[in-house]
Chains A and B, each alone.
Chain A
Amino acid sequence: MTENKSATGALPIVLVENIHKSYRRGSQEISVLRGINLSVAEGNFIALMGPSGSGKTTLLNLIAGIDRPDEGHLFVAGTDITLLGELDLARWRAHHVGFVFQFYNLLPVLSGLENVELPLLLRDLTRKQRREHAMLALELVGLQDRMHHYPRELSGGQQQRVAIARAIVTDPTLIVADEPTGDLDKASAAEVLGLMEQLNREFGKTIIMVTHDPRAAEKAKEIHRLDKGVFNNK
């Protein structure tokens, strides 16, 4: 059924079944994903690699529930997210997915602590509880001493660490990272990758990461290569 089975043999937390996705550009229809199957076990750390336009970010977006496939099914933690409506899907994302973007995407008007606290506004928590959770997450990424700084006052690496803290603060089922080191210098990239590796190893977080960087992909337990919308794991 799947081209890529979980290497650990554990139960899959993510199951992608025969996913197709295409986009229209003017009158032209571009097929981005063509019958993709993938299984990711809980606690795994996988890297999606491939040339530009191969469909890796599209696949990541589909798994994270921020885009919808034309065909096929996507099961995450037992839920077929292709069947969820917009509102339910938004709620599902808030509870199950932590996002790390290439350009950090922190809100510039909020401090590091407030940015990390942001996803918790959707939870039934008191202000004090939210603060405690956010401070703990920032402590985990080693930024407790800069929590009151605004994004413009932080380096790229520090901003990405805040973004990782924001991704983990809700204790999500899955962390998705799209080129998390793409905008960082070598040292900062190493720090961020080390952090992700630590989250996977010590806290058992399932991570799916899209990257161009072979050194980043080396940190993952599995590497899956996409080319022209299909897996090519030769």
Chain B
Amino acid sequence: MELIKLILRNTLRQRLRAALTIMGMAVAILAFCLLRTVVDAWYAGVAAASPNRLVTRNAVSLIFPMPINYRQKILQVPGVSRVAYANWFGGVYIDERNFFPRMAVGPEIFFDLFPEFVLPDDHLKAFQKQRNACIAGQKLVQKYGWKLGDTINLTGNIYPGDWQFVLSGVYRGATKTTDETQFFFRWDYLDEVLKKNMPYLSGYAGWYVVQIRNPFESGAISRTIDALFKNSWAETLTETEKAFQMGFVAMTDAIVTAVRMVSFVVIGVILLVLANTMTMTARERMSEYAVLKTLGFGNRFLFFLISGESVTLALLGGLLGMALAFPVADVFAAEMSTLLPVFHIHWKTLLLATVLCLAIGLLASAFPTWRATRIRIASALSHIG
């Protein structure tokens, strides 16, 4: 108890130095939390992937579609319970900067396969009833101020033309990590228009989402599905949803690695700053450590005294940084909602930041503690005055 009192009083002894160190630490931990959250956001699709969902796409590339009749064939594969399908639409909403994912989906069961999209029954029924209906995520609706019944105009690029959709439903995420910025409309509406204007593009799905009964059979089922279409003009590649999402992340792997590295460089920099502070502090107090040793206090006491002060500074700064990370992340999330739709500080990030604060505190005090424990009392006391 007395030791803790002494640590706290020593910590606040040089108020300006302590305040600057705490603020530096806070900024570093804030940056660390945000950078880690950027990485988490990058992997949000992977994290949200379900183990009992497979994705079947064209083996050559995702940009090449597959015939819509593949759905019936996939449904025949043992172990498959349901199959949904979708097309990437692209398009522009007012301005190209207003990016959000826009997809044409089979209206029958698509939302049954994605329970993480929580949709009221009446919204789903309205979607299934009206041919040009669409469903949007809650964040998207809030961002653009849409209301149910509003007409949303998109300009097509992959599928040229002016497209009009009526907002019939709004989904919310089952968890904080669910993307609430997606926009879905009916595949049959897309196909109907294509049949009229661009018949060569109709009758195709971009990918199939395959629900399986047993996740442990995903490998065998994937192989069976791909074997069905072997030597056809549109061979398939089936993989778990997680692997499918990882494929997107892998394209930007270098960026993610760089962000990760920068987050640890920030920690390295603040470690040096705190180590410098603690070295200065300990050097100024060598005579006090000598007095404590004279009175009979051992090296263990000095270790707790110095490292305790260092850890206190690191933790105070770290906690401040973590507290600031939440409002800053909210602002960041609002600004970057289209690029990083799921931007939440994960508890694992906070835990890692806390562990790093402790480690920084201990490491920063290692050298001054070592010096303090090695001082010769007589020579340290002879320098006093």
Assuming the contacts A57-B382, A102-B385, asked whether A90 and B293 have C-beta atoms less than 8 A apart, the reply is yes
Complexed CA–CA distance, A103 and B385 (Å): 7
- Could you tell me the distance in whole angstroms from the C-beta of B122 to the nearest C-beta in chain A? 67
* Residue of B9, B10, B288, B294 touching A93 (CB-CB under 8 A): B294
Complexed CA–CA distance, A93 and B376 (Å): 15
For B10, give the chain A residue with the smallest CB separation.
Answer: A109
Q: Is A118 an interface residue (CB 8 A)?
A: yes
- Could you tell me the distance in whole angstroms from the C-beta of B10 to the nearest C-beta in chain A? 6
Q: Are B296 and A93 in contact (CB under 8 A)?
A: yes
Complexed CA–CA distance, A61 and B291 (Å): 13
Which A residues lie within 8 Å of B328 (CB)? none
- Could you tell me the distance in whole angstroms from the C-beta of A117 to the nearest C-beta in chain B? 8
Q: Is A119 an interface residue (CB 8 A)?
A: yes
Q: Are A105 and B291 in contact (CB under 8 A)?
A: yes
Q: Are A107 and B291 in contact (CB under 8 A)?
A: yes
Q: Are A118 and B381 in contact (CB under 8 A)?
A: no
Q: Are B382 and A101 in contact (CB under 8 A)?
A: no
Q: Is B2 an interface residue (CB 8 A)?
A: yes
Report the number of A-B residue pairs with Cβ-Cβ less than 8 Å. 66
Main secondary structure of the interface of A (DSSP, over half): helix
Complexed CA–CA distance, A108 and B9 (Å): 10
Which B residues lie within 8 Å of A109 (CB)? 6, 9-10, 13
Complexed CA–CA distance, A67 and B376 (Å): 8
For B291, give the chain A residue with the smallest CB separation.
Answer: A105
Q: Are A103 and B288 in contact (CB under 8 A)?
A: no
Q: Are A101 and B295 in contact (CB under 8 A)?
A: no
For A166, give the chain B residue with the smallest CB separation.
Answer: B295
Complexed CA–CA distance, A180 and B139 (Å): 75
Interface positions of A (Cβ within 8 A of B): 57-58, 61, 64, 66-67, 87, 90-91, 93-95, 99, 101-103, 105, 107-110, 114, 117-119, 121-122, 127, 166, 183
Interface positions of B (Cβ within 8 A of A): 1-2, 6, 9-10, 13, 287-288, 291-298, 376-378, 381-382, 384-385
Q: Which 8 pairs of residues, A with B, have the shortest CB-CB distance? A: A94-B296, A109-B9, A67-B378, A66-B377, A103-B385, A105-B291, A61-B378, A93-B296
